[in-house]
Amino acid sequence: MFGILGFNAAMGKRQKQQLTPRPSNTPREYSKEIPIELVIDVFSILSIEDVARCRCVSKLWSSILRRRDFTQLFLKISSTRPRILLTFLHKDQVCPPILGLICCKSKKPMICNPSTGESKYISLPSAKTKRVKMRPYFGYDPIDQLFKVLCVSSDYVCRVSTLGTKEVMSTWRKVECSISHQPLHSEICMDGILYYLAKCMGSGTPTPYMVVAFDVRLERFKFLPVELNIVGSALINYQGKLAILWQNLGGIYQHIQSFELRVLNDVDEVKWSIIIYELPDYWKNFAVETTYLYILGMTTSGEIVLSTYYVHEPFYIFYYNTVKKYVVRVQIDFGIEPLRALNCSRISTFLNHVENVELMD
């Protein structure tokens, strides 16, 4: 069970246009039917709320707004105005969104679209048996345009289910994996590769901690050794490359003093470069002493983004500009009491969420 809240980083006011009425003595002008491509272009600039209203106007409009080319165009435009997605969790977790869709890491994984606000969802087979528990990961194959869910069980068996096919309603199918591993907390899907952090089991691995790279299309694993302990770190997209970001803590209150960024420059030879970002001196007075901060990722403009985790007020999001070396703190007020009434104890925050108009039919 979880709740969702999305918002724009910046919102502009919509200007009202005054229409001039046609004079009664002007003859009616007849025109040909408007090309469907032009209609789709007009619909694509609407808000997702207006798209929902337009679906109710007529069967023709509803069919147009369900077309694949309209969905793809709306996604393309939405990617230029990404949002921050807040999910309010009750026991379960949520995978990072992909193309506007999210996967709930529950006993019975569900795929839903938070943008449309509909109650429908795609339910996957149960990810738990009597003896083992499976941890779901959400991935996307951009070539075949298929969403897949990878599950790694507590007995180190890996299974996959593909959305949009009949096998969604069947059991999970096994995929071969050469190294037994225990998944950790962070994950990201980039260019058809699902990455997640893991602790490798057994003595035949070069390092105890690795980054697992799962090719969503080919359904093959690759393991990227990491020399340091990666517990507490986060996988991020750094200028189109995979990177691992650490928080270096220190002082009495264990404030974040700096960040260490390791960028994967060569996938085949697994070569990492290291960048250190020192926080300004005023940071220890600026951050919240009693609240744990976790890494959300990095923006395209080079800002490291962090946020608080547990449900309490005030709720903060921090932006650290790695170029100009300053920190901005944003306070978000969403009303804490309704969440407590629903027993929501944690908040997961995601960057660069895009709106998707596709319905979960």
Residue by residue, pLDDT tens for the chain (361 residues) are: 455 555 554 434 444 444 445 454 544 444 467 888 999 999 999 999 999 999 999 999 999 999 999 999 999 999 998 899 988 766 668 899 999 999 988 777 889 899 987 777 888 877 666 667 778 899 999 999 999 999 998 888 899 999 875 555 456 889 999 889 988 888 999 999 999 999 888 766 777 889 999 999 999 999 998 877 777 789 999 989 999 999 887 665 567 888 999 999 988 888 999 999 998 888 877 765 555 788 999 988 889 999 887 777 778 899 999 999 999 988 887 776 666 666 666 788 999 899 999 988 6
> How many CA atoms within 13 Å lie on the side-chain side of 176?
3
Query: Can you give the three-state secondary structure of the chain, one letter per residue?
Result: CEEEEEEECCCCCCCCCCCCCCCCCCCCCCCCCCCHHHHHHHHHCCCHHHHHHHHCCCHHHHHHCCCHHHHHHHHHHHCCCCEEEEEEECCCEECCCECCEEEEECCCCEEECCCCCCCCCEECCCCECCCCEEEEEEEEECCCCEEEEEEEECCCCEEEEECCCHHHHCCCEEECCCCCEEEEEEEEEECCEEEEEEEECCCCCCCCEEEEEEECCCCEEEEEECCCCCCCCEEEEECCEEEEEEEEEECCCCEEEEEEEEEEEECCCCEEEEEEEECCCCHHHHCCCCCCEEEEEECCCCEEEEEECECCCCEEEEEEECCCCEEEEEEECCCCHHHHHCCCCEEEEEEEECCCCCCCC
CB-based contacts of 106: which residues, under 8 Å, 6+ apart?
Answer: 92, 127
CA distances from 236 to 31, 107, 274, 295, 305 (A): 52, 27, 14, 9, 11
Q: Which amino acid is at 277?
A: Y
- CA-CA distance, 102 to 136, in Å (whole number)? 12
Which phi and psi angles does 302 have, rounded to 5°?
90, 30
Whether the CB-CB separation of 299 and 351 falls below 8 Å is answered with: yes
> How many CA atoms within 13 Å lie on the side-chain side of 73?
17
Burial of 83 (0-12, 13-18, 19+ CB in 10 A): buried
Whether the CB-CB separation of 222 and 215 falls below 8 Å is answered with: yes
- Residue 185's CB is within 10 A of a number of other CB atoms, namely 14
What was the pLDDT predicted at 53?
Answer: 92
What was the pLDDT predicted at 219?
Answer: 96
CA distances from 48 to 144, 150, 179, 354 (A): 26, 30, 44, 11
What was the pLDDT predicted at 348?
Answer: 85
Domain boundaries 2-6+35-353, CATH class: mainly beta
- Bond preceding residue 314 cis, omega within 30 of 0: yes
Domain coordinates in residue numbering, the chain: 2-6+35-353
CA distances from 68 to 15, 37, 43, 57, 306 (A): 30, 12, 13, 19, 35
What was the pLDDT predicted at 12?
Answer: 40
CA distances from 114 to 4, 148, 181, 307, 336 (A): 7, 18, 32, 21, 20
Dihedral sign, CA of 10, 1, 191, 226? positive
Q: What's the angle, vertex CA 104, arms to CA 98 and CA 108, rounded to 5? A: 130
- CA-CA distance, 196 to 213, in Å (whole number)? 7
